[in-house]
Amino acid sequence: TPLPVGPDRSLRANRVPVLLHFTDITHLREAEEMRRDFVANVSHELRTPLTAVMGFIETLRGPARSDPAAQDRFLGIMEAEARRMNRLVSDLLSLSRVESQERMRPSDEVDLSAVLDGVVAALRPAAQDSGNTLEIERHVPDGQRTVIQGDRDQLMQVFLNLAENALKYGGPNKPVTLRLVAEAGSGSMKGTVLRVDVIDRGEGIEARHIPRLTERFYRIDTHRSREMGGTGLGLAIVKHIVNRHRGRLRISSVAGQGSTFSAIFPAV
């Protein structure tokens, strides 16, 4: 504010100019809250299997001491819980790695078509066990390369996570399709884009859940996710990897018919 100009010069002389600096710390507070929630969630997720393991150790030392059949059963459960903790720690490490790399663009040329072949080869045995089929469809014009600039292992991780979810939540005896499409981009993605749709024929996802699915530890049905060996971090990892590749993740679902998770990347 300009100092008043007027006859009262003494008043003007006594004024001390003050510089006020305002910083909006709302986003800092939100980030801090998210960090705190995350630590609380991780602790809870680790404590659940740990409590189970400790409980069974007690039982093995006491009531099951001379019951080999019970010992065998309890050791099996303990092993499953330990594996779950291991998966959780691996997913936490993956998430932390991709988050810290998000601003660094990966630079290798990666053929998405070959990545999908790798995913199907890796998951076929598990798919067969649950009576599912896993198929690839390609809608790519002759001569069009299916290459993007990326990190092969991370792209593999994206489609493994999406296809594993499609198999888990799509239900038994339902086909899962990985569809690779080359098409013209729109909006901020000019030029040709490559889109991979991971399609299941499960129950579908209610619209209110869709925007939150990529949050860490967000699950529609926690019990079901745990039972299926889920950590609740798969889609959060997918989202960060897709972002790092300047891509976009789209989720659509029709109740009773299934869901489609699409990852879209600029083609090289």
Stretch that binds ligand ADP, among 14-22, 76-84, 146-154, 224-232 (CB under 6 A): 224-232
Stretch that binds ligand ADP, among 62-70, 131-139, 228-236, 242-250 (CB under 6 A): 228-236
Q: Which run of H or E residues covers position 147?
A: strand 147-150
Is the distance from CB of 217 to CB of 233 less than 8 angstroms? yes
**At its nearest, how many Å lie between ligand ADP and the CB of residue 130?**
14
Helices (H), 2-137: 9-14, 26-61, 68-101, 112-129
Site string for ligand ADP, 194-213 (x = CB under 6 A): ------x-x--x-------x
Which of 253, 247, 244 has its CA nearest to residue 267?
A: 247
Among the listed residues 221, 227, 254, 257, the single contact to ligand ADP using CB under 6 A: 221
**At its nearest, how many Å lie between ligand ADP and the CB of residue 102?**
18
Contacts of 173 (CB under 8 A, 6+ apart): 130, 131, 132
Q: Cβ-closest residue to ligand ADP?
A: 230
Decide whether 119 or 205 has the Cβ nearer to ligand ADP.
Answer: 205
Site for ligand ADP contains 230 (CB under 6 A): yes
**At its nearest, how many Å lie between ligand ADP and the CB of residue 110?**
22
**At its nearest, how many Å lie between ligand ADP and the CB of residue 200?**
5
Q: Tell which positions 33-62 bind ligand ADP, by CB under 6 A.
A: none
Decide whether 81 or 266 has the Cβ nearer to ligand ADP.
Answer: 81
Alpha carbons 236 and 6: distance in angstroms, whole number: 63
Alpha carbons 188 and 183: distance in angstroms, whole number: 14
Site for ligand ADP contains 154 (CB under 6 A): no
Which of 21, 18, 13, 26 has its CA nearest to residue 1?
A: 18
Angle at 135 between CA 131 and CA 136, to 5 degrees: 165
Alpha carbons 113 and 147: distance in angstroms, whole number: 8
**At its nearest, how many Å lie between ligand ADP and the CB of residue 174?**
11
Site for ligand ADP contains 231 (CB under 6 A): yes
Stretch that binds ligand ADP, among 4-12, 108-116, 132-140, 160-168 (CB under 6 A): 160-168
Total residues interacting with ligand ADP, rule: CB under 6 A: 21
Angle at 251 between CA 172 and CA 148, to 5 degrees: 100
Decide whether 157 or 165 has the Cβ nearer to ligand ADP.
Answer: 165
Is the distance from CB of 168 to CB of 230 less than 8 angstroms? yes
Decide whether 152 or 174 has the Cβ nearer to ligand ADP.
Answer: 174
Q: Angle formed by the axes of helices 68-101 and 26-61, to 10°?
A: 160
Chain positions contacting ligand ADP, by CB under 6 A: 161, 165-166, 169, 200, 202, 205, 213, 218-221, 225, 230-236, 259
